[in-house]
Amino acid sequence: MDFLNIKEQIKSKGYTYEAFGKEVGLTKTSIARIVSGSQTPSFEMLGKIAETLDVDVRDLFNPTKTDKEPKEEVQTIINQLETLKGKL
């Protein structure tokens, strides 16, 4: 599950990964890795990211609970897996 929605926050503020990285003291590559989920930012860095984006730290996270029925949630996950499989 993708817990962070930093990509959307960066985009909504008009930053490129390179420009945003400079603002928070990270490279473009590190920002891309955080966005993709292959690198996890420290708590301190999450605070700096939120401050730079002028959002609450909680806004950097996707909701982990859903209003969907379990069967509907399972179907959503299956669809996401099929989409990923098609990209391989």
How would residue 85 be classed by pLDDT, with cut points 50, 70 and 90?
A: confident
The CA angle 67-69-70, to the nearest 5 degrees, is 120
Q: How far is CA 8 from CA 36, 37, 49, 68, 74, in A?
A: 12, 14, 13, 23, 24
How would residue 52 be classed by pLDDT, with cut points 50, 70 and 90?
A: very high
Minimal CA–CA distance to 10: which of 44, 40, 38, 34? 34
What is the reported pTM?
A: 0.70
Contact 57, 46 (CB under 8 A): yes
